[in-house]
Structure 1
């Protein structure tokens, strides 16, 4: 099976899929898309993913998966070991719940803080083929969301090695990647967040999370 992964080493979204591909040891080719040069808006890439976003995963039959959610589900079904979305109904439910929390409460905050405040993203407050103006108030709210999520995750990780279902999952991947990327808005968990530090240091030891 020949898979083609459309990546961008500097962006957080494709890193999430990159980690899952590595954890599952899935062979694939890589095509690097330079977002800083706007290659995602070029005709060649738009023919692959009209959403003008990475990651994208092209399957052997030519089907293209154009977002992290779809890529994660396809990889889990096609390469079930090691499982990263749970195996029992309860595990799947808990992992899905925390994946949603991380994306909505944390990832959205980081994206809002960055895209609504960075001069380089003027007119590009949302990813995709359309242009949207920045709203400074959303950047302020995003910073608040990040701080609140750090507090929630610190409490949640007390006595736990992983975010959900007592196993490495997509929720860990998403939280880890967004936390690293939050450095770009100069906000990280404080020294008092010892549970987050322990969890984060453990994941850093895994080769896939070093990509």
Structure 2
């Protein structure tokens, strides 16, 4: 199988961290150069019609896109260590936490960066700085909620490390492009959680 990724992009990093946490090896990694618009070539669009990374090309030629879909596929192939829930109830609560982080934290952060960072002007045309600034406010509001949750529980989805922690960590790290650091925002619990995740081997990808 081939996994199409792009260095420093948060969604490919989510999949790569997931694979390390599950001790999954042997995939061929193919780097897609976003700055060179390689994701918009006809060759890549044939695999990922929406021109996004990551994408997982299966041995039979079919292609899975969307981060969570790829992780679901991998979890089914290698159930342990479990990252997405063992029972229907646990799976539902972990998915809830993961989706909240993805849509209310990672997406606003990404929008803020895409529309305000000069280095991403080539990827986001046109940029709308006012929209980006408004998204930064929304991301910080969600960070405050996350910080409060992490004062009550050790991990984003509860008592153990899950896919939701991977999503949140990749969001926080991507936020550095807009100088977002939890400690500087007064989010001590979020910073302590971030530092614990950063100490895991998967954080090195």
Same topology, TM > 0.5:
yes
Report the TM-score when normalising by structure 1.
0.89
Gaps of 5+ in 2: none
Gaps of 5+ in 1: 126-131
Contact 2:117–2:178 (CA<8 Å) still a contact in 1? no
- The answer to whether 1:193 aligns with 2:191 is no
Other structure's SS at 1:190 match: helix
What displacement does 1:120 show? Answer: 4.7
What displacement does 1:122 show? Answer: 4.2
**CA, structure 1 residues 162+149, in 2 after alignment: closer, same or farther (shift >3 Å)?**
same
What displacement does 1:121 show? Answer: 4.2
Contact 2:55–2:66 (CA<8 Å) still a contact in 1? yes
C-alpha distance in 2 between matches for 1:10 and 1:190: 22
How many residues are aligned here? 203
Cross-structure match for 2:66: 67
Cross-structure match for 1:25: 23
Give deviations 1:130-180, integer Å, cap 9, x for gaps: xx6333331121110121112111110014221113121111000000100
- The answer to whether 1:48 aligns with 2:47 is yes
Q: Kindly report which structure 2 residues correspond to 1:88-107, keeping only aligned pairs within 5 A, or say none.
A: 88-107=87-106
Cross-structure match for 2:143: 150
Structure 1 counterpart of 2:14, from 16, 22, 44: 16
Report the aligned-residue RMSD: 1.7
- The answer to whether 1:205 aligns with 2:175 is no
Greater share of helix residues, 1 or 2?
2
